[in-house]
Amino acid sequence: MTGGTRGHAPRRGLVLAVQALLLSLLMLLHSKIPNRPGNLGSLVETFLPWTGLGVPVLLAGALWRRSASAVAALLLPVVAWVYLFGGQLIDKSHPGADLTVAGHNVGAANADPAGTARDLAASGADVLALEELTPQSTGTYERELAKTYPYHTKVGTVGLWSKLPLADTRPIDIMNAGSLAETIPADKKLAPNRALRTTVATDHGPLAAYVAHLGSVRVNPAAGFWTASRNIGVQALGTAIAAEKNKRVVLLGDLNGTMNDRAFAGITSRMRPAQETAGNGFGFTWPASFPVVRADEILVRGVKLESSWVLPATGSDHLPVAAGISW
């Protein structure tokens, strides 16, 4: 009996070592995971930082099996995770900024829009983007924010409040632009009034500001990771930003995805995410009760990111985000 147990021990350690190798390959080669069927690659990339949880699970198995080889093999996924995300755990912020921008999906079901507006006004942001405005709540935000932000503009369910003058506001159709729009059934199309572009007049020159609330994503057994309406918005925003003539650009919004997701390559190839560039930690924003993804983002082009942080919870199911930028 003892001899049989000894014979099985190396095999048990080998299985755990192979699992550790596969976990590290999943992290490092995530871009090679095909998106068909079911957008599996995008789904993995959305939750990519959480693949690190596989390490303590495998470690527990290795310790239970008393396998030194399996413990040693866990160095592979640990090194892979640190290579991918270790930099995000370092505080990259710098003091001082010419302008503070903030964005928040205020939540259509928010029971306290007045309190949310007061909290946001007290944040110190010079420019404030709001998404998921409703006909019932818009007036409340306009009244509560008027004293702090004398300028504001709104298109459909998104708006921008500013301490600085605004001009040249126009809607961005994020539902009917590009070839992907033809793939969405009429009954699943969202209203096109979920994004805008405006110009903020600063002491350093004009800043093009985009505000967007992209389509939701869904995970279900039949369709897998459904991202069609969101990806149409990504394509439309990418096209608009590529054509933007202003050198200084900021994008604020609930993008319903993370910047690890390959679907955002058309945007991330032209703009820098605030949290990755100047933040401290992952800056997860959704759901507010226990954030697991950074669905709300600030990206910039042509300006320097000094800092990025997540603001305290409001009555929304999202957390607000903010960033300091300089010229």
Q: Output the average pLDDT for the chain.
A: 92
Tokens of 31: 């871009």
User: Residue 301: how many CA atoms within 13 Å on its side-chain side?
Assistant: 19
Residue 188 pLDDT: 57
Give the tens place of pLDDT for each residue, 73-89.
999 999 999 999 999 99
C-alpha dist (Å) from residue 125 to 31, 71, 309, 325: 36, 48, 12, 11
Phi, psi of 62 (to 5 degrees): -65, -40
Give the tens place of pLDDT for each residue, 61-75.
999 989 999 999 999
Residue 221 pLDDT: 80
C-alpha dist (Å) from residue 221 to 37, 40, 218, 294: 11, 12, 10, 24
CA-CA distance, 155 to 211, in Å (whole number)?
10
Mean pLDDT of 208-215: 97
Residue 1 pLDDT: 41
CA-CA distance, 43 to 51, in Å (whole number)?
12
Residue 37 pLDDT: 83
> Hey, where are the domains in the chain?
2-89, 99-326
Give the tens place of pLDDT for each residue, 280-292.
999 999 999 999 9
CA-CA distance, 305 to 218, in Å (whole number)?
32
Mean pLDDT of 138-167: 98
Asked if 121 contacts 152 with a C-beta cutoff of 8 angstroms, the reply is no
Mean pLDDT of 209-223: 91
Mean pLDDT of 43-51: 97
Mean pLDDT of 163-173: 96
Per the listing, tokens 């910047």 go with 259
CA-CA distance, 101 to 157, in Å (whole number)?
19
φ/ψ bin of 309: left (φ > 0), alpha (ψ from -120 to 50), beta (otherwise):
beta
| Helix, strand or coil, per DSSP, at residue 151 | strand
CATH class (in words) of the domain with range 99-326: alpha beta
Mean pLDDT of 93-106: 96
Give the tens place of pLDDT for each residue, 252-310.
999 999 999 999 999 999 999 999 999 999 999 999 999 999 999 999 999 999 999 99
